[in-house]
Amino acid sequence: MQFTLMGIGKFLPMEGIDRLGMAALRNQITRIFCALICVLILPALSACSFRPKPTSQKPGPSSPSEPNSVPTESPIIPSPSPSVSPGPPAPKPPPEALKIDGPKQLTVGQCGIYTVSTVNPAGETSPVTERVYLTLGTPASGVIGAFYLSGSCTGPEATETSLNPGGSSTIFSFRTYVPFNGQLDATARNPFSGPSGPIHLKAGKLGIQFTAGPPSEWVLSGPTSGLTSTCLGPFFAAPRDIYGNPANLLKPYDGTISLPAGATSYSDEFCSQPVSQVHVSQGSGPFRFYVRTQNQEAESYAIVSPLSVRGELIVRTHPACKPVAFKNQLSDTFQLNSKEATTLSSFGTDALGRVYWVGTGYSKKSSSLIIRRSNSGRAGTWSTVDTAQVEAGYDTQGVGFARDGQGNLTVLANARLSTSRKAWTQSIRRSAVGKTVGDSGGWDFAKGGFPYRWQSSAALDTQATSVFWDSLGRWVVRTIGMDLDFSRRLILRIGTPLWENWGTLLNLPPSSGLSQEDFSGLGPSSQSMISDLDGDLWTVLSSQDAKGKYRWMVIEVSSSTGAYKVVDNSDNWPAGLRDQISGARTLTMAPDGTIYVAGYIGPSTGQHEWLVRKTSDQGKTWDTIDQFAPMTVGSGPLSADPAAILVDRSGRIVVAGQAKLTPADQPTAIVRTSVTAAPGSFATEATFTVEKGNYSAATALGQDDLGNIYVGGYGQTKKGQKAFVSFTSCQ
């Protein structure tokens, strides 16, 4: 009988097994078993060869020549070839840049969802080894919107995010309600450790475009008051999308100008070419027209067309009058809390011709918005119609007042909230929607609430300075944001009529060199923005240069793109003027388009002269028409700071502010006027003091639909600080 040992390759007779004994058999089996393990079970081993021990034999004759002899050492099985394992994958090169992916073409109001990733030179995603903080943004100027860290444009706005160690991407979303053709940026704020040292990621950029939506309604804008029998305007008519933007017109749109009896529309500023039809097409801009009316009442101008909503504007017209000179008399003094301060910031009117002022009343623990109203402006006719706080128990300061073309009222405020006690948040309080010009019941601010609140995530503080309804039918809010390093940025926000949707038209960071603002003296004015005859926005600044010197700055901003240009800069003034500190604080526009700017200039802080400049050619040339220093003592003039300027119905220029007239006196509220606007023609018309021997300051000017003029401010008394109003009629 024979027995086969698999893998040996030969037959061994039973007698051989007897002679070899069990030791030899075990050796053979072990060799076979190890070979199987090497080939099938341990492929990662580099080799699995071995040499077995020699077998021991029983005593007796044993010779290679004998037929049944067995060698003293068994044959060696060759070792299998070494098996090479693939091992772990080779590591990717470290990232070198950020990359943004997401939609590039959207319509305003849509939410774009984006991913920012870290990529290596091959374009592959590659993780960071440490936490990397990212800043999201858009170019320094131009229309921008809001960033969110969610994937649905919900939650708080945020421009700061981060990548976790071992991570290579994160998501964010972006939305704007105004047309935008630019780019999104993602910038790494800190390096991380790489194989050869710190790695500074290159910024990621993605070009995007938000286009306007289709036409939804006509918007009609322009002056809301004027003189009977004069050529009023210009008025602007344009189809808008649902967010108030100039619509994306796929075809021309037509409309009919609807005016009351006694009023006629014209195509030219001289009211010589009648026109009744409105025609606009893509790229043509708003349709411009003028109106002459014989009526002496509030009347409605409208654009009627197949669009679902017609544009309407309420205009109040009155006969011409001659203003009476200011007298040193006050028609209203008010203090919200005894022994505490009350200030006045802005004037405004409603569609019924009533006058309002907005201010702030302080208490020991907080402050409140104040709104007071008068039917005639005269003494004894003023009453408080609203006091409010955005959040009970926290500061709220009244800043500005404005009226839209349909007569809705808006009050601008700054507030501190429980969620950010040390930072200001701008807020809006508006009248209840739906009030009409014929409503005699008054305006209910309480029901309007505070529907809009906003704080720039890139700034520590967000303090609004003024609000107005521009010639294109939008709300515009001017804001100064204070960054973490206490530098300041200028921000212009634009909103739809009912404050539902918002975008940022301009955001000048501190690095632009144009965004700082001097808060010394009387600080920012509530009358610091206008729309020119082309619908573009103008604003003023006291901008700090690289050496820390404040300088006069006037900026024109495109109402459609947010592009800006500096139209007056004290750096370009003659020697002797450009070397001094200066700042533009307030501006206004006359019906003929002439723009007047008032501010200060002086050798140092606290030694300011009063300065008024004008341009009649859109900022190409400027003339200084008033440089007022009460008197000179020692090395410089006593301080004089204008805060507000307007042109009244007769064409007279009125400027109000504060001046220290003699070394012994406290600063007092002052009004200077000029009929001709010629250099040297200004004269001090009135001064106001709430209490003799204490300081006073004029901070605002207003004009009602009848042409009456109001100057307001605040003054110190023995029982605290009071707000005041002085009134002069137009007869």
What would the pLDDT profile of 63-98 be if each residue is shown by its tens digit? 444 444 444 444 444 555 555 566 666 678 999 999
Q: Residue 142 — pLDDT band, cuts 50, 70, 90?
A: very low
What does the pLDDT average to over 471-490?
Answer: 79
Give percent of the chain with pLDDT exceeding 70: 79
The residue among 535, 506, 503 whose CA lies nearest residue 243 is: 503
pLDDT surpassing 50 at residue 46: no
Of the candidates 637, 611, 602, which has an alpha carbon nearest to the alpha carbon of residue 554? 611
What backbone torsions phi and psi does residue 445 show, to the nearest 5 degrees? -75, -35
Place of tokens 């701008």: 426
Q: b/e map of 169-198 (b: 16 or more CB within 10 Å)?
A: ebebbbbbbbbbebbbbbebeeebebeeee
Q: Residues 696, 714: contact at Cβ < 8 Å?
A: yes
DSSP state of 323: B
CA nearest to 424, candidates 365, 375, 475, 367: 367
453, amino acid identity: R
What mean pLDDT do residues 196-201 have? 92
CA–CA distance from 616 to each of 577, 613, 622, 681 (Å)? 22, 11, 8, 18
Residues in the chain: 731
Q: Are 400 and 412 spatial neighbours (Cβ–Cβ below 8 Å)?
A: yes
Contact 593, 562 (CB under 8 A): no
Give the DSSP H/E element, type plus range, for residue 614.
strand 607-615
User: What is the C-alpha radius of gyration for the chain, rounded to an integer number of angstroms?
Assistant: 40
Average pLDDT over residues 96-105: 96
The two three-digit tokens of residue 1, written as one number = 């009988």
pLDDT tops 90 at residue 107: yes
pLDDT category at 53 given cuts 50, 70, 90 is very low
Q: Which of 362-371, 375-384, 476-485 has the highest mean pLDDT?
A: 362-371
pLDDT at 205 over 90: yes
Q: What is the rounded distance in angstroms from the CA atom of residue 382 to the CA atom of residue 333?
A: 9
Q: Which residues contact 337 (CB under 8 A, 6 or more apart)?
A: 361, 362, 363, 720
* Average pLDDT for the chain: 80
* pLDDT given for residue 324 in this prediction: 81
**What average pLDDT does this structure show over 569-582?**
86
Buried b (16+ CB within 10 A) or exposed e, 681-713: ebeebbbbbbbeeebbbbbbbbbbbbbbbbbbb
Instruction: Please check the confidence at residue 133 and state whether its pLDDT lies above 70.
Output: yes
**Under DSSP, is residue 272 helix (H, G, I), strand (E, B) or coil?**
coil
Residue 220: count of CB within 10 angstroms of its CB: 27
HSE, CB side, 13 Å, CA atoms: give it for residue 49: 10
Greater model confidence, 636 or 238: 238
State pLDDT tens for residues 166-184. Answer: 999 999 999 988 788 888 9
For the cut 70, the answer to whether the pLDDT of residue 122 exceeds it is yes
Q: Are strands 97-101 and 112-119 parallel, antiparallel or unpaired?
A: antiparallel
Question: Given this model, what pLDDT does residue 440 score?
Answer: 35
Q: Can you give the pLDDT at residue 41?
A: 55
The pLDDT, as a whole number, for residue 493 is 85
Tokens coding 640: 């004089």
Lowest mean pLDDT among 12-21, 204-213, 370-379: 12-21
Among 26-35, 318-327, 715-724, the minimum mean pLDDT is found in 26-35
Q: Strands of 581-589's sheet, edge to edge? A: 581-589, 595-604, 607-615, 623-628
Q: How confident is the model at residue 562 (pLDDT cuts 50, 70, 90)?
A: confident
C-alpha closest to that of 621 among 552, 674, 572 = 572
368, 374 Cβ separation under 8 angstroms: no
What sections of 427-515 are H helices per DSSP?
A: 445-448
Are the C-beta atoms of 480 and 493 separated by less than 8 Å? no
pLDDT higher than 90, residue 342 = yes
Residues 6+ apart with CB under 8 A from 189: 132, 133, 134, 135
Q: Answer yes or no: are the C-beta atoms of 567 and 615 closer than 8 Å.
A: yes
**In the predicted model, is pLDDT for residue 614 greater than 50?**
yes
Higher pLDDT, 35 or 226: 226
Q: How far is Cα 384 from Cα 373, in angstroms, rounded to an integer?
A: 6
pLDDT at residue number 165: 94
> Comparing 32 with 197, which gets the higher pLDDT?
197
Mean pLDDT in residue range 25-32: 61
- Gap between the Cα atoms of 414 and 716, Å rounded: 23
Q: Does the pLDDT value for residue 613 go beyond 80?
A: yes
pLDDT of 395 higher than 50: yes
130 pLDDT above the threshold of 90: yes
Mean pLDDT confidence for 105-130: 93
CB-CB contact of 608 with 575 (8 Å): no
More confident residue, 249 or 257: 257
pLDDT band at 318 (very low <50, low <70, confident <90, very high): confident
Q: Residue 606: what pLDDT?
A: 63
Residue 184, token pair as written in the block: 């999104």
pLDDT tens digits along 481-519: 777 667 778 888 887 766 666 778 888 877 677 777 766
Q: Which of 315-329, 339-353, 547-561 has the lowest mean pLDDT?
A: 315-329
Q: What percent of the chain has pLDDT over 90?
A: 31
Structure tokens, 725? 């109003």
Distances (CA, A) of 216 to 67, 245, 430, 560: 112, 10, 24, 18
pLDDT > 60? residue 21: no
**pTM of the model as a whole:** 0.74
* 414 alpha carbon, distance to own chain's centre: 15
Q: What is the pLDDT of residue 372?
A: 92
* DSSP characters over 148-197: ESSSSS-SSB-SEEEE-TT--EEEEEEE-SS-EEEEEEEEESS-EEETTE
The answer, yes or no, to whether residue 347 has pLDDT greater than 90, is: yes
Top-ranked range on mean pLDDT: pick from 98-102, 346-350, 607-611, 624-628: 98-102
Nearest to 385 by CA among 449, 445, 451: 445
Work out the pLDDT band at 588, boundaries 50, 70, 90: very high
End-to-end CA distance of the chain: 143
∠708-709-714 over CA atoms, to 5°? 140
pLDDT range class, residue 265, cuts 50, 70, 90: very high
Is the per-residue pLDDT at 457 higher than 80? no
